[in-house]
């Protein structure tokens, strides 16, 4: 199992690069985010997939991206290339928000992700995003805000403005973390709107 490579970036194109490690060139497939950030001499974390017809290396600049890759490839229909397309299209934060909100349109922006696969991603990963990088602390559907509290009232107010409930819960949760639990309803709504606008 190859877990990491350090060497010179000998070649790169839009979907892969060649890392020269002491004269041996390793072809590594990576997201556009990772490829854009590669210096001339790089260290990449890798995930190796072995099939009957191929051994493929996938590279990641950060462990966060590798964790997401591993989670995405647990969904039926998501192979390594599709997972990289998703990671090229959506940041970790956007990915968490899209899954938590069931936003199939955002997930479907990635090459190779049709409506059925986007729905499967949203459904199968919904309960798992809270523990993922950029997902810790995000409200996930099912963890409703208590009614009668400023946070619950802020969620209700933002939902009445036309925002979807999972998105408003996540926004209000982040606002509450930033402002503190003793903040006013007005401040939570204002901060929640800023979060939703991002």
For residue 19, tell me if it sits in a domain: yes
Domain end marker among 100, 131, 162: 131
CA 96/CA 71 separation, integer angstroms: 12
Residue 109 falls inside a structural domain: yes
Residues 46 and 74 grouped into a single domain: no
Round to whole Å and give the CA distance between 65 and 76.
19
Is there a domain that residue 52 lies in?
A: yes
Q: What is the mean pLDDT of residues 126-135?
A: 66
> What is the domain-level CATH number for residue 192?
1.10.8
Whether 143 maps to a domain, the answer reads no
Residues 75 and 123 reside in one and the same domain:
yes
What value does the mean pLDDT take over residues 168-186?
Answer: 80
Q: Which range of residues forms the domain containing residue 97?
A: 64-131
Distances (CA, A) of 173 to 35, 94, 96, 152, 189: 33, 16, 14, 10, 11
| Residues 111 and 169 placed together within one structural domain of the fold | no
Q: Of the residues 34, 60, 86, which one is the last residue of a structural domain?
A: 60
Counting beta carbons within 10 angstroms of the beta carbon of residue 135, is it exposed (0 to 12), middle (13 to 18) or buried (19 or more)? buried
Q: How many residues does the chain have?
A: 198
Do 116 and 76 contact (CB within 8 A), yes or no? no
Residue range 103-115: mean pLDDT, rounded: 90
pLDDT band at 126 (very low <50, low <70, confident <90, very high): confident
Q: What is the pLDDT of residue 49?
A: 92
Model pLDDT, residue 18: 96
Task: Please give the tally of structural domains in the chain.
Answer: 3
What is the arithmetic mean of pLDDT over 58-87?
93
- Structure pTM? 0.67
Same domain, yes or no: 32 and 52: yes
């Amino acid at each position: 199992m190859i877990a990491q490579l350090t060497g010179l970036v000998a070649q790169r194109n839009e979907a892969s690069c060649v890392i020269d490690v002491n004269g041996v060139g390793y072809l590594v497939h990576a997201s556009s985010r990772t490829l854009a950030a590669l210096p001339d001499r790089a260290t990449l974390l890798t995930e190796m997939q072995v099939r009957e017809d191929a051994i493929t290396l996938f590279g990641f600049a950060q462990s966060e991206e590798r964790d997401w890759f591993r989670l995405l490839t647990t969904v039926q229909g998501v192979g390594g290339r599709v997972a990289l397309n998703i990671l090229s299209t959506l940041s970790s934060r956007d990915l968490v928000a899209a899954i938590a909100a069931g936003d199939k349109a955002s997930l479907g922006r990635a090459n190779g992700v049709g409506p059925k696969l986007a729905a499967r991603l949203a459904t199968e990963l919904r309960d798992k995003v809270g523990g993922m990088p950029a997902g810790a602390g995000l409200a996930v559907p099912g963890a409703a805000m208590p009614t009668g509290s400023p946070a619950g009232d802020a969620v209700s107010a933002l939902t009445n403005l036309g925002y979807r409930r999972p998105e408003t819960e996540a926004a209000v949760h982040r606002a509450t973390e930033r402002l503190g639990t003793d903040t006013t309803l007005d401040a939570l709504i204002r901060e929640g709107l800023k979060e939703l606008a991002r």
